Amino acid sequence: MFDAVSLTTSIVAAAVMFQTIELLLLRGTFQDASVWSWPILRNDFDELPGIVRQVADGLLRYPNFVAVLWLRLIAASCIVIMPHVIWSLILIGTTTLIALRWRGSFNGGSDSMTLVVLVGLTLALMRPSSSVVVLAGMAYIAVQLVLSYFIAGIVKLKHRTWRSGKALQGFVTYAAYSIHPWLKDILEQRVVGRAVNWAVILFECSFPLALMSPRICLIYISLAALFHLGNVYVFGLNRFAFAWAAAYPALYLCALEVSRRI
């Protein structure tokens, strides 16, 4: 039987380790002399009750926040060796603290998807002997994954720049990334640029079809993996590749379940 929970656990643990190590390497940016220092950011907590501010001060100020990151790294390592709900709960807690520390998210959608996977995984680990509970946890991840692509596709479809083929051209021309010159030349060709833009739109809008069957699901997962690897190569968005990959086993499990019930 396909063990979606174990595979999800391993991949999300790797994603969390990668994210946490990145933050530990950047810890100099949230020392007291930095613009990201806690004495500055804590002003957002002035409206909260005193006890909440005290807890926040204790956990989110430097160097205590570094201890939170180390706890997260240890929990991510332990959940691979000894899968248990306690580790996933610690990962949810520390991930939430990081989000609070950075006013909501350190790196946008990748952090949100990591939390989605951790929540679904926690549900599955609460009753690993119950196929219903496990499937509920995996289904939560799968639905959120499908919606992440589908909604992104609908939003792109509504924008004229995407329909005209100019959106990606604008990204590679004006983005603050080191874009390869050959890629700029290719996307600046009107026919190619428009085809690539529409390929992205159609792929994302049709992503719910991945639930139709395991075979179709594998095709979409493969295309999605190539899409994210392309973003890593072009834009350096490596966090997204890890976070979304952690949700693919849940999607495949749900596709298997759908095929069994049809």
Give the single-character DSSP code of 107: S
pLDDT digits (tens, 9 = 90+) for 193-217: 788 889 999 999 999 999 999 999 9
Residues 151 and 64 in one domain: no
pLDDT (0 to 100) of residue 107: 57
* Gap between the Cα atoms of 76 and 58, Å rounded: 23
pLDDT at 244: 94
pLDDT value for 191: 81
pLDDT of residue 178: 64
Judgement on whether residues 139 and 247 belong to the same structural domain of the protein: yes
Cα separation, 33 vs 234, in Å, equals: 33
| pLDDT of amino acid 108 | 66
- Give the pLDDT of residue 257: 93
Per-residue model confidence (pLDDT) at position 219: 97
**Sign of torsion over alpha carbons 104, 110, 113, 114:** negative
Residues of the chain with pLDDT under 70: 1-2, 32-33, 35, 103-108, 173-180, 187
Given this model, what pLDDT does residue 111 score?
Answer: 87
Model pLDDT, residue 46: 79
The angle, 0 to 180 degrees and rounded to 10, between the axes of the packed helices 214-235 and 248-261 is 160
pLDDT at residue number 177: 59
The continuous run of DSSP H or E covering 21 comes out as helix 4-25
Residue 52: Cβ-neighbour burial (10 angstroms; 0-12, 13-18, 19+) = exposed
Asked if 207 and 260 sit in the same domain, the reply is yes
Q: Are residues 98 and 158 in the same domain?
A: no
Indicate the number of domains in the chain: 2
Residue 226 lies in a domain: yes
Contact of 65 with 71, CB cutoff 8 Å: no
Q: Is the peptide bond before 63 cis (omega within 30 degrees of 0)?
A: yes
The answer as to whether 117 is a domain residue is: no
Q: How far apart are CA 238 and CA 236, in angstroms?
A: 6
Residue ranges making up the domain that contains 68:
1-106
At residue 104, the pLDDT reads 62
Q: What pLDDT, on a 0 to 100 scale, did the predictor assign at position 106?
A: 55
Residues 258 and 198 in one domain: yes
Residues 260 and 150 reside in one and the same domain: yes
Sign of the alpha-carbon torsion through 95, 98, 100, 105: negative
Contact call for residues 97 and 227 (beta carbons, < 8 A): no
- Number of Cβ within 10 Å of residue 221's Cβ equals 20
Q: State residue 110's pLDDT score.
A: 83
pLDDT at 102: 77
Please tell me the predicted confidence (pLDDT) of residue 6.
Answer: 95
